[in-house]
Structure 1
């Protein structure tokens, strides 16, 4: 057969959703300047991370996201069999990620959040408004995986210590930091003509301004959390990342968090979730076209 006669096979729904999940992880990593996070400028508050590693980690998760979406399509309903399948696939995806990164935790929180959302999107491809998508993800998150390891993660330990919501609870509540803060700010900044990169930065800051980020609490305690929340709100109050005053405040926030060794990794995971929800909800025809 002549090479020019070859046609690429249409992507399945699961493959398209996996593509979207990997894309938002790479977009989140590339977004700059993010306060104390890995971006195009450097490593932020991390000595063991860099942008290339974040890209490689994101790409390593594509098979897991695809398999999660396939499992959702196969089971067809929210229930314990699907929840436990997602848990198993997520743990396998985490193992692949750690093999790629030589043991560095790059995207453990993102596997949880994006995996739930990919599965939720595959369950009902024709009903993927932001609210409906997050509701299905929450229903999945509320189910108890009998096979999940019982030792608490650092984030879960910190959540218990400080009496705040961790990544599990955030998902179980339907991602309120995204629905109530991130997405509305993303839409406002776009509507005001701030440009896509600035709109994403503003969405990240909106999430940071109200999130009890367990990554920050683990690294810098309540002092770090207060600095993150107040500093992020100060950037938004000064006009956001598109204004000169806002950029100055953003630089101050970056320097403050670096001095505290406080990296808002939880907010970064939720920004990726925000971008994924936005793309699925606004690109229903793209998702449905894979059916």
Structure 2
């Protein structure tokens, strides 16, 4: 367990709290704008949801900016350990309340707040690259949040207990394998192959969907729903991905199937946002990438 504050080996400071909060909010906005996403809210409509749309997701992302800024600031001044985990828990609960006020009670980004909050803290704690940030987040996730009232488990937590899925907590404790080994590599391979940014992001999302035991899907559709999501995403990729005619047609078919079954792979969307965040961080010796963001949308 770390007991003293680390500095990056370059001798430079971690990105500022404002920079990290801005990157986290932008990652959430970019994930929301990405289209067409099967079963998820995007520019076309509400997906499998009836309680949220794109303007609401954008408002939710902005409402979380103060929480991300606070997470970065506290991680910059405190050593990694139980005390920092307790502070992050307090910040996370305040962030969730702000999100619910902005969304009139809709749970738009609870899972993303957990994942991005930990990763923001991992970066602010002195990580030199995305893998160190993920490992730092994993160390923090392993500490219990002793102030979380008993009996208030989320849908994802209840599904995790029922089906044995690792869920958002397990993903963080395992240092975000679906971000580090799936989404980020797929995103960067697609860019290197010359694919459009939106296509690269869709293919990264689809690969996560094809592998993840998504507790959002398990909550709504059980194991059969998860099978539909995973096999459907595999088929899109097997047809060449979102950027090919056959792959695009398979993607739209999957979207229709998920909307009809009211299946929303929200866990996969959260992990794509986490990957986009790590991709946006201006790591030492590497300029921030100039990824694209959707046009401004009135809330």
Deviation at 1:219, TM superposition (A): 0.6
Match of 1:111 in 2: 113
Question: Using the alignment, how far apart are the partners of 2:272 and 2:285 within structure 1?
Answer: 20
Question: Using the alignment, how far apart are the partners of 1:38 and 1:200 within structure 2?
Answer: 15
Deviation at 1:130, TM superposition (A): 2.0
SS in 2 for 1:150: coil
**1:132-153 Cα shifts (integer Å, max 9, x gaps):** 1110110010111211222211
Match for 1:53 among 56, 62, 73?
56
Give the TM-score taking structure 2 as reference length: 0.89
**1:89-117 Cα shifts (integer Å, max 9, x gaps):** 00000001111111111100011000000
Deviation at 1:285, TM superposition (A): 5.3
Which structure: greater helix fraction? 1
**1:65-99 Cα shifts (integer Å, max 9, x gaps):** 00000000110x21011100000000000001111
Match of 2:222 in 1: 221
Question: Using the alignment, how far apart are the partners of 1:281 and 1:130 within structure 2?
Answer: 10
Segment drifting more, 276-285 vs 163-172: 276-285
Deviation at 1:255, TM superposition (A): 1.0
Matches within 5 A, 1:1-291: 13-75=16-78, 77-124=79-126, 127=128, 129-151=129-151, 152-280=153-281
Question: Using the alignment, how far apart are the partners of 1:233 and 1:276 within structure 2?
Answer: 25
Give the TM-score taking structure 1 as reference length: 0.91
Change (3 A) 1:278 1:235: same
Change (3 A) 1:283 1:29: farther
Consecutive unaligned residues in structure 1, runs of 5 or more: 1-11
Question: Using the alignment, how far apart are the partners of 2:286 and 2:144 within structure 1?
Answer: 33
Change (3 A) 1:284 1:91: farther
Instruction: List structure 1 runs of 4+ shifted beyond 2 angstroms.
Output: 281-287
SS in 1 for 2:263: coil
Consecutive unaligned residues in structure 2, runs of 5 or more: 1-14, 289-299
Deviation at 1:223, TM superposition (A): 1.1
SS in 2 for 1:160: helix
Q: How many positions carry a matched residue from both structures? A: 273
Question: Using the alignment, how far apart are the partners of 1:162 and 1:285 within structure 2?
Answer: 41
